[in-house]
Amino acid sequence: MKTLIVGGGGFIGAHLLEEILRNHRNWQVTVIDINSEKISHLLLDKNVKFFEIDIVRNSIEDHVSDCDVMLPLAAIASPAVYVTDPLRVFELDFEANLKIIKWAVKYQKRVIFPSTSEVYGMCADEEFLEDESNCVTGPVSKQRWIYSCSKQMLDRVIYAHGLKNNLDYTLFRPFNWIGPKLDDISNPESGSSRVVTQFLSNIIHGKDIKLVDGGNQIRSFTDIADAIAALIKIILNENNCATRQIFNIGNPHNQTSIKNLAQEIVELAKKYDQLKSLAEKTKIIEIDPNEYYGKGYQDVSCRIPSIKKAETVLQWTPTVSLRESLRKIMDDLFKKNASSR
DSSP states of 279-336: HHH--EEEE-HHHHH-TT----SB--B--HHHHHHS-------HHHHHHHHHHHHHTT
The footprint of ligand NAD (CB under 6 A) covers: 7, 9-13, 33-35, 54-56, 73-75, 77, 92, 114, 116-117, 174, 176-177
Residue 127 contact among ligand NAD, ligand UGA, none, beta carbon within 5 to 8 Å by kind: none
Q: Which residue is nearest to ligand NAD (CB)?
A: 10
Q: Which does 54 bind (CB under 5 to 8 A by kind): ligand UGA, ligand NAD, none?
A: ligand NAD
| Backbone dihedral angles phi then psi of residue 74, each to the nearest 5 degrees | -70, 125
Q: Which residue, 141 or 340, is less far from ligand UGA as judged by CB?
A: 141
Laid out side by side, the sheet with 2-6 consists of: 48-52, 28-33, 2-6, 69-72, 110-114, 169-174, 245-249
- Taking the C-alpha atoms of residue 94 and residue 55, their distance in angstroms, rounded to an integer, is 12
User: 43 touches which of ligand NAD, ligand UGA, none (CB within 5 to 8 A by kind)?
Assistant: none
Q: Which is nearer to ligand UGA, 6 or 29 (CB)?
A: 6
Question: What residues does 245 pair with on adjacent strands?
Answer: 170
Binding site for ligand UGA (CB under 6 A): 77, 79, 116-118, 147, 174-176, 190, 194-195, 198, 210-212, 215, 217, 219, 258, 299-300
* Shorter beta-carbon distance to ligand NAD: residue 12 or 262: 12
- Nearer to ligand NAD by Cβ, of 13 and 318: the residue is 13
Q: Which does 39 bind (CB under 5 to 8 A by kind): ligand UGA, ligand NAD, none?
A: none
Secondary element (H or E) of residue 82:
helix 79-84
Whose Cβ is closer to ligand UGA: residue 116's or residue 254's?
116
Give which of ligand UGA, ligand NAD, none residue 195 binds (C-beta under 5 to 8 Å, depending on kind): ligand UGA
Q: Who's near 183: CB < 8 A, 6+ residues apart?
A: 11, 78, 192, 193, 194, 197, 198
